[in-house]
A and B are shown apart, each in its own frame.
Chain A
């Protein structure tokens, strides 16, 4: 994991040393004059689980949208697999996004929602149904495939959202405070699910949260951001071994790391 020599020269796209995400001194100023991001640099390698932690309003969601190719930047440079984000979105189409709320279409049942990314890509009905079934099985929701979102609890809806991202077969998963609205017990459970599925699917994840405990539990690297303007205050490696079982939360190393992040946030 220590191949960080690709910083100086511009490597050719597709080479294994090239980081999956390469954001260099990104600044984003809104029309209102608000500086959402200032000189933020972020490099994510294949297979990493990176958490962006910071208070609300620190521009972490903005950064995630930029990486997804859904927002512009004022200055700096962002490359996803060596391509500008919007080109990467159109040409590679292997990024999935999980939003703050489940963002399901209420008029479609669970299966229909999970199928959507493949449907938009023009994948055949049989094939996308199969993919959706597998994804739902993986998040443990096969039994409610025909239910509508309004019949499900908040935690279950979030899992449907996860299954939809899974069905898109992404290599890069961007998650924007996905478990901010569910209760603590459900959140801990879903954190476990994410790690389990990540290990299976081989995702690279950038995960935005304001929950320090969640960040330490999930990631192998944490970027701490400050509020207005959003800047990277510190970077921290989380050297807890995977697979992380719930018991990790009671370990001394975990507690120490959480303490560190909390100190950095203040």
Chain B
């Protein structure tokens, strides 16, 4: 920004906006603390109350373990937990990757052909309304228990938000921009790559936020019904196994790990969104205002 101000010359009233970001950043830091601190405090209070309640009422560990025990177990079996998390994460990521590719491609194809859109879109919607748990056994039968089935379930559950959001983005391109591309004789490829897809990017990112969370859920559900067991079993397997053994502290530890996994993926996607859209789209810069 400083360099820009230097070469400003006399023509523009730019300094007013050139100096704005630094002060805005300072405000953001303070306001970020204000937004981050209350939930952390609330979380701490909740955990404390839980600990006190369990000890005071002397609730048995197999019903509700105190947070301190959950923490101890989590630390003691840190390695196992991490393996499970990475198994689930890998499957979810693979499923998500597939739904990004298939979802964007499907939306692009449908945006090019009205007839195709009218024939296929209802089924994309139907796909969304089918409870994934109902098709999961079918997928296990077709693909066998194991990672491929888990990936496919994660893919199916996270596909629809990618299709619908991309489709919405592709149909809302600014009309004047379309006219302008027509005026300057843009070919089909240029229209897609230089106009339609960039315009749809904020929508695609919204879809990705939803889909990333769903992919984790899908992977865990997949592991419930047909994941691999044993040492390298994912979180879904660990949760069922611990529940059967009434290993409550480990069950809680695995549940927390799932939550943390979901949150971290959400944060990574938000970061990608900020990197891709930060310089131009309102969805990524709203906080600064």
Residues in A lying within 8 Å of B, measured CB to CB? 65, 68-70, 89-90, 93, 95-97, 99-101, 103, 105-107, 116-117, 119-121, 140-144, 146-151, 153, 156, 168
Given the complex, which residues of B lie within 8 Å of A150, measured CB to CB?
280, 285
Assuming A106-B280, A140-B11, A144-B14, is B183 touching A68 (CB within 8 A)? yes
Interface contact B184-A120, CB-CB below 8 Å: yes
**In the complex, what's the smallest C-beta–C-beta distance from A36 to chain B, in angstroms?**
16
Given the complex, which residues of A lie within 8 Å of B194, measured CB to CB?
116, 119-120
**In the complex, what's the smallest C-beta–C-beta distance from B16 to chain A, in angstroms?**
10
A106 to B199 Cα, complex, angstroms: 9
**In the complex, what's the smallest C-beta–C-beta distance from B19 to chain A, in angstroms?**
12
Q: Which residue of A lies closest to B9 (CB)?
A: A143
Within 8 A of A (CB), among B195-236: 195, 198, 201
Q: Which of A69, A119, A140, A148 contacts B183 (CB 8 A)?
A: A69
Count chain B residues whose beta carbon lies closer than 8 angstroms to a beta carbon of A: 30
Interface contact B280-A107, CB-CB below 8 Å: yes
Interface contact B174-A107, CB-CB below 8 Å: no
Q: Which of B4, B182, B183, B198 contacts A105 (CB 8 A)?
A: B198
Q: Which of B8, B17, B176 contacts A103 (CB 8 A)?
A: B176
Given the complex, which residues of B lie within 8 Å of A69, measured CB to CB?
183
Given the complex, which residues of B lie within 8 Å of A96, measured CB to CB?
183
**Does chain A have a CB within 8 A of B12?**
yes
Interface contact A97-B12, CB-CB below 8 Å: no
**In the complex, what's the smallest C-beta–C-beta distance from A144 to chain B, in angstroms?**
7
Closest 5 CB pairs of A and B: A103-B176, A106-B280, A120-B184, A99-B176, A117-B184
9 extra A-B contacts, CB within 8 A, seeds A99-B180, A148-B280: A70-B183, A93-B185, A105-B177, A141-B12, A143-B4, A143-B9, A143-B12, A150-B280, A156-B12
Given the complex, which residues of B lie within 8 Å of A147, measured CB to CB?
4
Given the complex, which residues of B lie within 8 Å of A105, measured CB to CB?
177, 195, 198
Given the complex, which residues of A lie within 8 Å of B174, measured CB to CB?
103
Residues in B lying within 8 Å of A, measured CB to CB? 4, 7-9, 11-14, 17, 174, 176-177, 179-186, 190, 194-195, 198, 201, 277, 279-281, 285
Interface contact B201-A144, CB-CB below 8 Å: no
Q: Which residue of B lies closest to A69 (CB)?
A: B183
Q: Which residue of B lies closest to A140 (CB)?
A: B11
A100 to B183 Cα, complex, angstroms: 15
Given the complex, which residues of B lie within 8 Å of A95, measured CB to CB?
183
Interface contact B185-A103, CB-CB below 8 Å: no
Given the complex, which residues of A lie within 8 Å of B180, measured CB to CB?
97, 99, 103, 116
**In the complex, what's the smallest C-beta–C-beta distance from B274 to chain A, in angstroms?**
14
**In the complex, what's the smallest C-beta–C-beta distance from A194 to chain B, in angstroms?**
17
Interface contact B184-A116, CB-CB below 8 Å: yes
Interface contact B281-A106, CB-CB below 8 Å: yes
Q: Which of A65, A90, A141 contacts B185 (CB 8 A)?
A: A90
Interface contact A107-B201, CB-CB below 8 Å: yes
Given the complex, which residues of B lie within 8 Å of A146, measured CB to CB?
4
Q: Which residue of B lies closest to A102 (CB)?
A: B176
Residue among B180, B195, B279, B281 having the largest count of chain A Cβ atoms under 10 Å: B180
Q: 8 A-B pairs, CB-CB below 8 angstroms?
A: A68-B183, A89-B185, A96-B183, A97-B183, A99-B179, A107-B279, A142-B11, A150-B285
Q: Which residue of B lies closest to A96 (CB)?
A: B183
Interface contact B182-A70, CB-CB below 8 Å: yes
Given the complex, which residues of B lie within 8 Å of A168, measured CB to CB?
184
Interface contact B179-A120, CB-CB below 8 Å: no
A156 to B277 Cα, complex, angstroms: 22
Q: Which of A65, A99, A143 contacts B7 (CB 8 A)?
A: A143
Given the complex, which residues of A lie within 8 Å of B17, measured CB to CB?
151
Given the complex, which residues of A lie within 8 Å of B285, measured CB to CB?
150
Interface contact A143-B11, CB-CB below 8 Å: yes
A68 to B184 Cα, complex, angstroms: 10
Given the complex, which residues of A lie within 8 Å of B182, measured CB to CB?
70
Given the complex, which residues of B lie within 8 Å of A99, measured CB to CB?
176, 179-180
A97 to B281 Cα, complex, angstroms: 25
A31 to B186 Cα, complex, angstroms: 27
Residue among A99, A101, A141 having the largest count of chain B Cβ atoms under 10 Å: A99
A141 to B9 Cα, complex, angstroms: 11
Q: Which residue of B lies closest to A153 (CB)?
A: B13
Interface contact A101-B190, CB-CB below 8 Å: no
A206 to B201 Cα, complex, angstroms: 35
Q: Which of A106, A121, A143, A151 contacts B8 (CB 8 A)?
A: A143
A120 to B195 Cα, complex, angstroms: 11
A124 to B257 Cα, complex, angstroms: 53
Interface contact B176-A121, CB-CB below 8 Å: no
Interface contact B179-A65, CB-CB below 8 Å: yes
**In the complex, what's the smallest C-beta–C-beta distance from B32 to chain A, in angstroms?**
22
